[in-house]
Structure 1
Amino acid sequence: MRSDLYIETVLEKCSALMAAGLWRRSPAVRPRAWLENFDRDDQPAAAVLLDHFTYFASTAVDQMLLSLYRQLRDGLISTMGVERAIATLDSAIFTSVEGEDPNVTDSGNLFCRKLRQTAGIADSRFMDPKRALEQAKAGRLIVFLDDMLGSGSQIMATWKRDYLNSQPYSFADLEAETGSHVIYATLVATRDGLDRLRGEVSGLQVIAAHVLDAADTITGVPHSALKPDLEDIPGAIANLLEKYAPRLGVPPYLENPRSRMYGHTEGGLLVAFEHSTPDSTLPIFWAVGPDQWTPLVRRV
C-alpha cells in the first residue's frame, strides 16, 4: 500500500478504537501527534509500530481481571472439586507483588483494589505480603495479583524476600517446608516470563488472562495484512529506533543503547495499560523527548 495511505489507515483505526471506547481519547493516547515527532521519511516505519500497538483501557482491564478471577476459580475446581474449591477461594488472601525495590505505588496494590471493587471481595482479605505470609503459615491460599509478568524478576524477588523474623522467613521457605499453596495471577504475561517462573520457582502456580507471544513483540512485526510501501520493514524499524532512541529521556537503568531501543531486558513489547506502561515496552512509545516531542502514552 502507498505509504501515505497506510499512515492514514492506521490513524483511522486508532480513531475507531477511541470511538468504541477501547482506547482512551487524547490526551491519554495521541497517535497523530506521536507520528508527527518523526521526519516524514521515518513516519511509515513508525506507523507500522503504531499499527501493532495494543492498549488496554480501564474497562478492558476490569473485564480481564474478572476473567482472571474466574480462571482462578475454575482451576481450583478442576483440582479440588466444587465444594472444597469454593471454600478455599472464599477464605483466600490476596496480596500485591512488590517491586525489586518495594514501593507503595507498585501496580499490585492497584490491582488488589480493583479486584475488591469488581468482584466484591471484603477488605479484610487483602493484605500486604508480610501479613499474607503469616496467613499462609496457617494454611490459607495466597494469591499474588499483578498486571504484567515481564521478565519475572519482581515476583521472584517477592517470593524470596524475607518478611518474617523466624522460619519461614519467605514464601520460598514456606514452600520448601510445607508445600504451601500460592498462586501468582497476572493480567498479561510474556511467554518468556511464564517459562522462566515455571522452570525456576518451585511451588508457585502461575495463571494469566492473556499471554504475549513473539507476534506481540518487536520481533513479530510486521504481521498485519496491510503494509506500507517499504522494501525492508524490519530494517526500517531498526533504523528508526537507532535514530530516535538516543534522543529519548529514560530512567537511568535504561540508558544503555539496547535498552533505549527495546526497553527493560530488551523486551520489545508493544503494549500499554491505561494506568501505566511497562518499562519493557518500546521506550519510543512512552519516553519523554526533546522539545515538542509528544509521547504516544505516558508511563505513570
Structure 2
Amino acid sequence: MAIEEIPRVKQWLSQFDAALPDQYLASYLLKKMRFVPFQEVEEWLQKSVEGLIEDIEKKEGKKAPIAIFPVAKPFINKFNAEKEKKSANDSAGRISHALKNLERRLPKHVELTPRDDSMRARKVKHIIYVDDFIGTGDRFIKSWRNMVSARIKSWCSRGWCKIWVLSFAAHKTGLNNIANQIRPIEKSRLMANLVVEKSFLAENKELVRLADSYGCKLKKYDARFGYGKLLSPIIFQHGCPNNVPAIFWSSGKRGWTPLFPERSVPSELYTLFSFDMTAETTAEELWMVGHYDLAVSIVNQIEQYGGDHQLVMILGFLEKKKDIERIRNVLVLTTKEMFEKLDNLRHHGLIDSGNKVTHFGVEILRRGKKNTELKQDNDDAYNYFYPASFLGFQREV
C-alpha cells in the first residue's frame, strides 16, 4: 500500500493546494523524512552505551566507576536540604525505559541515575548523559544549568569528572552550542549516531516555501520552520521533535489538521516507520542533480528494480561530483550507513578508492536510461527536450 493511501496521510495531503505543486511537494517531503522506529533507537542505545563503557575502561586501564543519566528527565531532583530524591526510571520516557532495561546487564561499577552521595562515595570519574535527539541544544543546556547539582558541576570544573553525551541524532549547530555553553563538555565527548550538518529541507527553496506559506494556517506560526528554524528531517516513532516543520505537528487556526498532533505519533502511522520510501524519491533526486535522462526513465521503470535505490542515487550524485557530506545529508544517513553504501559501490567496481565513478559505473548509469530512442531522419536529428521543471522540481542550472 502506498503511503498516500493511509487515511490520515491522505487527509493531511488534501490540505495542500492541488492546483500548485504543493500537494506533490508535501508528499515528496513526507517520503524524504528519516523515520526512526522504536527498535532502532533501543538497539543504538544498548550498543553505544556498552561501547562507550568499554572504551572508557580501555583508556583508564581499569573498571572506573561510571554514572548514566537520561537527558529527557531531570538529572537530580532535590527532595530537601538533607536528602535527595532519586529519579524514577521505569516507563517514564523511551530513553529512561531503555536504560532501565540495559541496567540489568551493566557491570556493577556502572550505575543508572545515582544520587550525589553515592557518586561521591564511589568516586565516579565518568558521567554519561543519553538522549534521543539534540536540536538547538537549548534543552540540554537548560537541564544542565537548572537540574544538575552544584556538587557535580564542582567535580567537573576541577577535572575530577568527565562528561560524555550520547545522542541518537543531533544537528551540528546543537552540538556546537552545547560545547560552547558548557565548559566541562568537550566536543570530542559529544557523540551522535546521526549528525545533520544542514537539513536537506533548508537547501531546497521549494520545500522552504512550502513550510513558510502554510505557516500562516498554524497556531505555531513562529515554529513553521521548526524550533530554532532547523527544518529538521528526523521523526521518531515515540514522538516528533519540535524542530521539525510545524506543518507536520501544529494544529491550525483555520482547521488545519496536523499529521502528528502536538508531536504525538498515532498508531495508524506506524507504517511510516517500516516503509522503504527511497524508491519513490529516486527520480526526483536524480533530476535535481542533473541526471534528466535517468530521472525520466526511472519514473516508468523504477518498480522493476528490486535493489537498493539509494545506491543508484549515490552513484548519480557522485557522477555529478557532489560532495560526500552533502549526499549524506540529502539522504539523511548516518556516517556508518554512508560508508557502508560507498563500500558496496566500491565492492562492485562502480566507484574507485577515491569515490570517483568508474567507467563501469558510468556505463551502468547510461544503461539505466531509456533504451527506446527517437527515430531520427538522417538529414534532421532531433534534440532532446527537457522541461524546466519535473514533478515540481526545477532543473539544476
Asked if 2 retains the 8 angstrom alpha-carbon contact of 1:98 and 1:108, the reply is no
1: distance between equivalents of 2:112 and 2:88?
16
1:276 aligned onto 2:260 = no
C-alpha distance 108-193 of structure 1, shift in aligned 2 (>3 A)? farther
Q: Which residue pairs with 1:44 in the alignment?
A: 24
1: distance between equivalents of 2:216 and 2:28?
20
Tell me which of 57, 73, 94 is aligned to 2:68.
Answer: 94
Which structure has more RCO (C-alpha within 8 Å, separation ≥ 6)? 1
1: distance between equivalents of 2:40 and 2:240?
15
2: distance between equivalents of 1:264 and 1:51?
21
Q: Which residue pairs with 1:187 in the alignment?
A: 168
CA shift for structure 1 position 78: 4.9
Give the fraction of aligned pairs with identical amino acids, expressed as a percent: 20
Unaligned 5+ segments in structure 2 are 78-86, 265-397
Asked if 1 retains the 8 angstrom alpha-carbon contact of 2:17 and 2:23, the reply is yes
2: distance between equivalents of 1:279 and 1:120?
32
C-alpha distance 239-185 of structure 1, shift in aligned 2 (>3 A)? closer
CA shift for structure 1 position 48: 2.8
Alignment-mate amino acid for residue 239 of structure 2: S
Asked if 1 retains the 8 angstrom alpha-carbon contact of 2:235 and 2:241, the reply is yes
- Secondary structure at 1:279 match in 2: coil
- Secondary structure at 2:214 match in 1: helix
Asked if 1 retains the 8 angstrom alpha-carbon contact of 2:218 and 2:254, the reply is no
Summarize deviations over 1:200-219 as a string: whole Å, max 9, x none: 323223222221221x4422
CA shift for structure 1 position 193: 1.3
Matches within 5 A, 1:1-300: 12=2, 14=3, 30-40=8-18, 41=20, 42-81=22-61, 84=62, 87-88=63-64, 91-97=65-71, 109-118=93-102, 120-121=104-105, 125-127=111-113, 131=115, 133-138=116-121, 139-140=123-124, 141-161=126-146, 164=149, 169-204=150-185, 205-214=189-198, 216-221=199-204, 234=205, 236-250=206-220, 255-256=221-222, 260-289=223-252, 293-298=256-261, 299-300=263-264
Give aligned pairs, total: 243
Bigger radius of gyration among the two:
2
Asked if 2 retains the 8 angstrom alpha-carbon contact of 1:262 and 1:282, the reply is yes
Alignment-mate amino acid for residue 151 of structure 1: T
Scaled by the length of structure 1, what TM-score is found? Answer: 0.68
Asked if 2 retains the 8 angstrom alpha-carbon contact of 1:162 and 1:170, the reply is no
CA shift for structure 1 position 43: 0.8
C-alpha distance 78-32 of structure 1, shift in aligned 2 (>3 A)? farther
C-alpha distance 116-142 of structure 1, shift in aligned 2 (>3 A)? same
2: distance between equivalents of 1:270 and 1:162?
29
Unaligned 5+ segments in structure 1 are 1-10, 16-24, 222-233
Looking at secondary structure, tell me which structure has more helix per residue.
1
CA shift for structure 1 position 282: 0.8
Once superposed, what is the RMSD of the aligned Cα atoms?
A: 3.5
Alignment-mate amino acid for residue 114 of structure 1: A
